[in-house]
Amino acid sequence: MRYPARVMQHFILLYHGHVKLHFRPIARELGVEMRTLERAFIEEFGKSMFQCQVDARLAFAQTLLRWMPPPKISVVASMLGYDEPRDFHHFFEKHTGETPSAWGRKEREKAKLDIRLAAGSDELF
């Protein structure tokens, strides 16, 4: 395989950093040792596969939490592979400093304000 790091990045992004996406079986299928793949990934993307997975998971969660109306936290957690919503809650709070609900509420309020400002009115919502 010529570009195994790019293939791995594709899998990570395709599955939105799913918590149950394991690298070792993919590396085995690519015919590459984990250590070789990790070095190539860091060289290619400037971060580890794990950090890429975390970044992708967080970005997807934030996208979902911006929706109006927002999905339930348990749904977001399930989509990202968490068996327990509290595990997702812990992950999200660790990486953002806010709970998923508080973060989503704040972001949706920002979006509403942006819409009001773009329309030139405070009376839309």
Average pLDDT of the residues in 86-114: 95
Average pLDDT, the chain: 94
pTM tops 0.85: yes
Is the per-residue pLDDT at 45 higher than 90? yes
CATH no., domain 4-119: 1.10.10.60
Residues near 93 by beta carbon (within 8 Å), at least 6 away in sequence: 99, 100
| Structure-block tokens of residue 84 | 């327990």
How far is the C-alpha of 61 from the C-alpha of 16, rounded, in Å? 9
- Alpha carbon 88 to chain centroid, angstroms: 11
The model's confidence at residue 112, banded by pLDDT at 50, 70 and 90, is confident
